Amino acid sequence: MVKEPQYFNVNCERTKTVAPTEHVNLLDLFAAKKPVTICAPMVEYSRVRFRNLTRRYGCDIAYSPMIIAEDFAANRIQRIREWETDDDDRPLIVQFGTKDPVAYADAAEIVYPYCNGVDLNCGCPQKWAIKRKVGCCLLKRPELLQDMVRQLQNRLPDANFSKSVKIRLDEDLRKSVDLCQKVEAAGVSWIAVHGRKSNALVLRDHPVNYEAIKLIKDSVAVPVVANGDAFTQADVLRIAEDTGTDGIMVARGLLRNPTMFTGTEKTSFAVMREWIAMFEGETDYLAWSECHHHLLRMLQPYIAKEELGEFSALEKRKELILEFIRRKLPDFDTDEAVKVEIAG
Ligand SMILES: Cc1cc2nc3c(=O)[nH]c(=O)nc-3n(C[C@H](O)[C@H](O)[C@H](O)COP(=O)(O)O)c2cc1C
In the chain, where are the structural domains located?
Answer: 26-261, 269-328
How many other C-beta atoms are found inside a 10 Å radius of the C-beta of residue 280? Answer: 11
Q: How far is CA 78 from CA 60, 62, 327, in A?
A: 28, 21, 39
Q: For residue 342, what pLDDT is reported?
A: 32
Say if residue 113's pLDDT is above 70. Answer: yes
Q: For the chain, what percent of residues have pLDDT higher than 90? A: 82
With a 6 A CB cut-off, is 227 part of the ligand 1 pocket? yes
Nearest CA-CA partner of 209 in 191, 197, 225: 197
Nearest CA-CA partner of 156 in 110, 96, 91: 110
Q: Spell out the residues 6+ positions from residue 108 whose beta carbon is closer than 8 angstroms to its own.
A: 69, 94, 96, 118, 152, 155, 156, 163
Say if residue 6's pLDDT is above 70. Answer: no
What is the per-residue pLDDT across 128-149, written as a single tens digit (0 to 9) for each?
999 999 999 999 999 999 999 9
Q: Average pLDDT of 220-228? A: 98
Q: For residue 14, what pLDDT is reported?
A: 43
H helices present in 112-246, as ranges: 127-132, 142-155, 173-186, 210-219, 233-243
- Residue with CA closest to ligand 1 atom 6: 42
The residue annotated as part of the active site, out of 124, 136, 180, 291, is 124
Say if residue 183's pLDDT is above 60. Answer: yes
Q: Is 225 helix (H, G, I), strand (E, B) or coil?
A: strand
Ligand 1 centroid to residue 286 C-alpha, Å? 22
Q: Average pLDDT of 293-322? A: 96
Q: What single letter denotes the amino acid at residue 88? A: D
| Gap between the Cα atoms of 87 and 36, Å rounded | 21
At what angle are helices 233-243 and 210-219 packed, to 10 degrees?
A: 50
Q: Average pLDDT of 314-343? A: 81
Say if residue 10's pLDDT is above 60. Answer: no
DSSP H or E segment with residue 22 = none
Kindly report which listed range (37-51, 194-208, 221-235) carries the lowest average pLDDT score: 194-208
With a 6 A CB cut-off, is 93 part of the ligand 1 pocket? no
Pick from 39, 43, 208 the residue to mutate for probing ligand 1's pocket: most ligand atoms within 8 Å of its CB. Answer: 43
Q: For residue 337, what pLDDT is reported?
A: 56
Say if residue 8's pLDDT is above 80. Answer: no
Between 10 and 215, residue with greater pLDDT: 215
Atom of ligand 1 lying closest to residue 40 CA: 17
With a 6 A CB cut-off, is 164 part of the ligand 1 pocket? no
What does 285-316 look like in DSSP terms, one character per residue?
A: HHHHHHHHHHHHHHTTTTS-HHHHHHHHHS-S
* Phi (first) and psi of residue 8, to 5 degrees: -100, 135
Nearest CA-CA partner of 259 in 246, 240, 272, 278: 272
Say if residue 13's pLDDT is above 60. Answer: no
* Phi (first) and psi of residue 74, to 5 degrees: -95, -20
Q: For residue 12, what pLDDT is reported?
A: 38
With a 6 A CB cut-off, is 65 part of the ligand 1 pocket? yes
With a 6 A CB cut-off, is 229 part of the ligand 1 pocket? yes
Reported confidence tier of residue 203, pLDDT bands at 50, 70, 90: low
Q: How far is CA 316 from CA 18, 148, 325, 326, in A?
A: 29, 41, 13, 16
Mean pLDDT of the chain: 91
Ligand 1 centroid to residue 40 C-alpha, Å? 6
What is the per-residue pLDDT across 147-160, written as a single tens digit (0 to 9) for each?
999 999 999 999 99
Dihedral sign computed on CA atoms, order 246, 252, 254, 256: negative
- Residue with CA closest to ligand 1 atom 16: 251
DSSP β-ladder status, 67-68 and 162-169: unpaired
Highest mean pLDDT range out of 1-15, 128-142, 247-261? 247-261
**CATH class of the domain whose range is 26-261:** alpha beta
Q: Average pLDDT of 9-33? A: 75
Q: For residue 2, what pLDDT is reported?
A: 36
Q: For residue 309, what pLDDT is reported?
A: 96
Say if residue 4's pLDDT is above 60. Answer: no
- For the chain, what's the residue count? 344
* Phi (first) and psi of residue 236, to 5 degrees: -60, -50
| Gap between the Cα atoms of 134 and 170, Å rounded | 15
For the entire predicted model, the pTM comes to 0.93
Say if residue 98's pLDDT is above 70. Answer: yes
Q: How many CA atoms lie within 13 A of 270 on its CB side?
A: 10
Say if residue 274's pLDDT is above 70. Answer: yes
- Residue 137 falls in the annotated catalytic set: no
Pick from 37, 38, 39, 42 the residue to mutate for probing ligand 1's pocket: most ligand atoms within 8 Å of its CB. Answer: 42
Say if residue 5's pLDDT is above 50. Answer: no
Q: For residue 340, what pLDDT is reported?
A: 41
Q: For residue 202, what pLDDT is reported?
A: 67
- Residue with CA closest to ligand 1 atom 23: 228
Atom of ligand 1 lying closest to residue 230 CA: 26
Pick from 194, 208, 296 the residue to mutate for probing ligand 1's pocket: most ligand atoms within 8 Å of its CB. Answer: 194
